Amino acid sequence: MMDKERVVITGMGAVTPFGVGIAPFAKALQNGESGIRLLRAFDTADYPVKGGGEVPGDLPAVAGLADHAPRYLHYAALAAKEAWKSAGLLTEEPLAEEAVAHTGFVYGEPPCPPERIGVLLGTSRGAVRELEMLCDARQAGRTLSPELLAALFPAFGHCPLGSGIARLLGAAGPVGTISAACASGTVAIGEAAAWIRSGRCDLVVAGGAEAPFTPTSFAGVCSSKAMSERWDDPAAACRPFDRDRDGYVMGEGAGVVVLESLASAKRRGAAVLAEIAGYAQTADASHITVPSGEGMRVAIRSALSEAGLSPADLDYINAHGTSTPLNDRWETWAIRAALGPHADRVPVSSTKSMTGHLLGAAGAVEAIACLLALQDQFLPPTINYRTPDPDCNLDVVPNTARRAALHHVMSQSLGFGGHNAALVLSLR
């Protein structure tokens, strides 16, 4: 494969239930900490579900982002800014207004012509928080200021996510927002890599963002009975692959990576975090949820094939691992069916046990967990694992992180609507 066709990751940024930035997320993964707690966004007295993976504290301002920007866009902007800096592209201070007007870049000089820079981000819920705010205000008969309406009006669609980050970074290449349910972040990264491989871009900012905690939206998910209703110990509510799991725990945040062609990274002397060696997306078109693991099995095998790897080469899987009874059972089946006898030696953990399920941002944040695992050569654990389930008979890295020699790892996602996606990340 020619250098210009290889795709590498040169930057990463995150907003998670542990706070803003990669550092608190990396620390939590290594220490097996939980970011799940009782909700503060609204009163849950009338809800059977009491908690989630909320982003703690006040959000720092982002230069160039409107004060009333949708919260999920704010998360994405913070993660994108960190990723841009991680890739060696961020100046110490935002550029002056006249410089921005000239270049289009709020943060730093373009590493290549702006039309060679793309943005592709994923979300499941979009600006549901802002939409609910506007509906509540309208129902209450409150007068909305023109300024607030102007700021929030684009939130009715998903378009502000990709275009908002493109405006901050001055990207003038292809820009888009993907909504593939809980696989959105993984699909965005995989498809962004394809933009580079096809020659459309030299660099793409990709990932996912989600801010789903609103009363009406939360009530709707509660009614589905898909979330855990065990809240005597919030930190232990999410227990993937455990026999006593009873549902997922909702989370929020963002994960963003900077992808480049290997040639671009070499040209500017950028440090390479990992290579996107393989990607695959499949659909379980016959069912809105997963009636079997066949689609995921095919995605795993296809991603390994694109990477030129066999099951014997795989060192770790960051599973979707939602803590729902059906997902974890069928995902185990898919992994065993795809890897054959090698499934007995490949560690498979779910970092959702610590973060909760970040929905459209989950795949991007979990890809970053894989990058951190490669970087520090460790296996993130599945915490809250107490009682083995014979239907989930994998090495789930129970409760405690451990050292490991990692070269090829996989991050995989499933989503409502039958979405399946898998990414293979490799050290060069």
Q: How confident is the model at residue 2 (pLDDT cuts 50, 70, 90)?
A: very low
The Cβ of residue 142 has, within 10 Å, a number of other Cβ atoms equal to 9
Same domain for 243 and 270: yes
Q: How confident is the model at residue 1 (pLDDT cuts 50, 70, 90)?
A: very low
**Taking 70 as the threshold, does the pLDDT of residue 347 lie above it?**
yes
Cα-to-chain-centroid distance, residue 366: 6
Range of the domain at 98: 3-274
Same domain for 123 and 22: yes
Percent helix, strand and coil across the chain, each to the nearest 5: 40, 20, 40
How much is the average pLDDT of 401-424?
A: 94
Looking at the structure of the chain, the number of domains it has is: 2
Q: Give the CATH number for residue 322.
A: 3.40.47.10
Check if the beta carbon of residue 209 is closer than 8 Å to that of residue 254. Answer: yes
Alpha helices in 170-260 (DSSP H): 184-197, 215-224
Same domain for 107 and 231: yes
Same domain for 326 and 184: no
**Taking 50 as the threshold, does the pLDDT of residue 102 lie above it?**
no
Q: Rounded to the nearest 5°, which phi and psi values hold at 332?
A: -60, -45
The tokens 């927002």 sit on which residue? 177
Check if the beta carbon of residue 103 is closer than 8 Å to that of residue 37. Answer: no
Same domain for 393 and 267: no
Nearest to 274 by CA among 258, 285, 263, 289: 258
Q: How confident is the model at residue 132 (pLDDT cuts 50, 70, 90)?
A: confident
Same domain for 308 and 248: no
Same domain for 306 and 393: yes
Q: How confident is the model at residue 106 (pLDDT cuts 50, 70, 90)?
A: low
Alpha helices in 21-70 (DSSP H): 22-31
Exactly one of 357, 392, 408, 419 is catalytic; name it.
357
Residue 291 is predicted with a pLDDT of 59
Same domain for 287 and 183: no
Nearest to 248 by CA among 335, 330, 328: 328
**Taking 70 as the threshold, does the pLDDT of residue 157 lie above it?**
no
User: Both tokens of residue 169?
Assistant: 């970074």
Amino acid at the residue 183: A
Please state whether 373 falls in left (phi above 0), alpha (psi between -120 and 50) or beta: alpha
Same domain for 360 and 304: yes
pLDDT in tens, 270-319: 999 999 999 999 988 765 555 578 999 999 999 999 999 999 999 999 99
Residue 137 is predicted with a pLDDT of 67
* Window from 51-60, 76-85, 284-293 with minimum mean pLDDT: 284-293
Nearest to 214 by CA among 102, 97, 144, 134: 134
Exactly one of 74, 158, 201, 320 is catalytic; name it.
320
Sign of the dihedral through C-alpha 257, 262, 263, 266: positive
Cα-to-chain-centroid distance, residue 394: 23
Determine the 3-state secondary structure of 421 from DSSP: strand
User: Both tokens of residue 28?
Assistant: 């939590």
pLDDT in tens, 224-256: 899 999 999 999 999 999 999 999 999 999 999
Same domain for 412 and 336: yes
Residue 34 is predicted with a pLDDT of 98
Q: How far apart are CA 203 and CA 187, in angstroms?
A: 17
Alpha carbon separation from 421 to 56, 136, 191, 412 (Å, rounded): 29, 36, 11, 6
Exactly one of 74, 158, 182, 238 is catalytic; name it.
182
Q: How confident is the model at residue 333 (pLDDT cuts 50, 70, 90)?
A: very high
Q: How confident is the model at residue 96 (pLDDT cuts 50, 70, 90)?
A: low
Q: Is 408 a catalytic residue?
A: no
Adjacent-strand bridge partners of 419 = 283, 415
Where among 230, 249, 274 does a domain terminate?
A: 274
Q: Which residue has the higher pLDDT, 133 or 207?
A: 207
Same domain for 192 and 152: yes
Q: Is 357 a catalytic residue?
A: yes
Check if the beta carbon of residue 278 is closer than 8 Å to that of residue 305. Answer: yes
**Taking 50 as the threshold, does the pLDDT of residue 336 lie above it?**
yes
Q: Which residues of 242-264 are buried (b: 16+ CB within 10 A; e: fewer)?
A: beebbbbbbbbbbbbbbbbbbeb
Q: How confident is the model at residue 121 (pLDDT cuts 50, 70, 90)?
A: very high
Where among 274, 305, 322 does a domain terminate?
A: 274
Same domain for 265 and 304: no
**Taking 90 as the threshold, does the pLDDT of residue 36 lie above it?**
yes
The tokens 């990576």 sit on which residue? 257
**Taking 80 as the threshold, does the pLDDT of residue 3 lie above it?**
no
Q: How far apart are CA 268 and CA 398, in angstroms?
A: 41
Nearest to 38 by CA among 236, 282, 311: 236
Q: Is 320 a catalytic residue?
A: yes
Q: What percent of the chain has pLDDT over 90?
A: 73
Where among 274, 307, 322 does a domain terminate?
A: 274
Please provide the average confidence, as pLDDT, over all residues in the chain.
Answer: 90
Which pTM was predicted? 0.92
